[in-house]
Amino acid sequence: MAKKTVRKNKPNPLWGGHYASGPAGIMAEINCSVDIDRRLYAHDIKASKAHAAMLAAKNIISKKDGQDIQRGLDKILQEIEGGKFKFSRALEDVHMNIESRLKDVIGDAAGRLHTARSRNDQVATDLRLWLRDAINGIDAALKNLQKALLDQAGKHSGTLMPGFTHLQPAQPITFGHHLLAYVEMIGRDRGRFQDAKKRVNEMPLGAAALAGTSFPIDRNMTSKALGFDRPMANSIDAVSARDFALEFLAAATIAGMHLSRFAEEVVIWASPAFGFIKLSDAFTTGSSIMPQKRNPDAAELVRAKTGRLLGAFTTLLVVMKGLPLAYGKDMQEDKEQVFDATDTLHLMVAATAGMVRDMKADTGAMEKALATGFITATDLADWLVRAANVPFRDAHHITGKIVRIAESRKCGLDKLNLQDMKKIDARITKDVFSVLRPENAVKSRTSLGGTAPALVKEAVKAAKKKFL
């Protein structure tokens, strides 16, 4: 029987001193992360340059080695950004790829860069740097969406439409007021990201593997050079914490939920049954079989992609929930979730801003919808309280009886005969008809945060000052 040839895999050159052979093929496959974490290249190089500068300043490495490392890292950055760098899956991750190339460029001095650090604090630092920039980018995108909403709200500060609860006609409002609700939601989303950024912006570098280092490093120097607020106080926490990523993903999920709610309303408003808005060819698609269709697919996809954000948050939460301190390779899964959620949220925000700018309000359809659902019933009850000194609970009961008459006669409250209303309550006078018109009802909502057109105009101005 022929003897089987056993191929010996070569050990990884950066950690292979303890290993006589390399990993099995499937081990190499599951262990490799460079296809994902290569996005950290600029931040890895930035952190390495700051670390090398600190090592040289503290005489932990020579000035010449420090200068060579800086020069080599600059060259590698140019190679990557110029598309000339060859990432190798055999080198596991972005960190080893850069370090290996650095040795090719400057020789043995490259081996001094990893003094007083570990991949544990290195990757945690890189991800925080990347996430800090990602939060800035998301904030700019959300601000742009707010601007689009504010532009539409300003145009429609006096455009009347039904307001809904339980998706049933409730009270008349203005379209501008409705859009301003999303401006406020997105403002809170921006606040959540900025609040999360405070906890992102603490530096793990210098924690090394988990216990710190015996070299006389200056973590404050490195932290300042990288724009962090401070070094992290505990070396174990520095390498094992991923709550900063979870907080980001939670904020992204909440923002996605807000976008999904708006998208759902776009789908409803654009349907012929409502017809409140129209979207152009730019943000709709046709049907492969039904030539008349205009589908709000951009909105539907925004609605769907919220699931990916929640999935990313749930995935990382489950990864982290049972891990003992300090670092575990499980944490390698953090970057795929953070990167995908960031890309997904950017796409959702951009598509939503595009739809907002594209949509045209059909004021006629909105006005027509005001005639359904006895939408000024609350105004009738309020009138009874004000004009006839009726306790609100009694006024509610009286109004309900009047609505029942209108239902039986299939007409609006403003079309009822005064005598019919007086049969329910003799205190009702002809003045009641002034509050039964939707435009008057809307104008009367002058409490702080209300829908009165004058307030909406002021709210648009205030929001622009606050958010833009």
Active site residues: 166, 287
CB within 8 A of 281, min separation 6: which ones? none
Q: Which of 208, 228, 235, 207 is nearest to 50 (CA)?
A: 228
Q: What angle do CA 88, 92, 65 make, to 5 degrees?
A: 80
Q: CA 243: distance to chain centroid? A: 16
CB atoms under 10 Å from CB of 284, counted, come to: 18
In this structure, the dihedral spanned by the alpha carbons of residues 22, 26, 29 and 31, taken in order and rounded to 10 degrees, is -70
E strand or H helix at 168: strand 168-174
- Spatial contact of 147 and 352, defined as CB atoms under 8 Å apart: no
Of 12, 7, 46, which is closest to residue 32 (Cα–Cα)? 12
Scan for tokens 């990893």, then name that residue.
114
Contacts of 201 (CB under 8 A, 6+ apart): 128, 132, 227, 228, 229
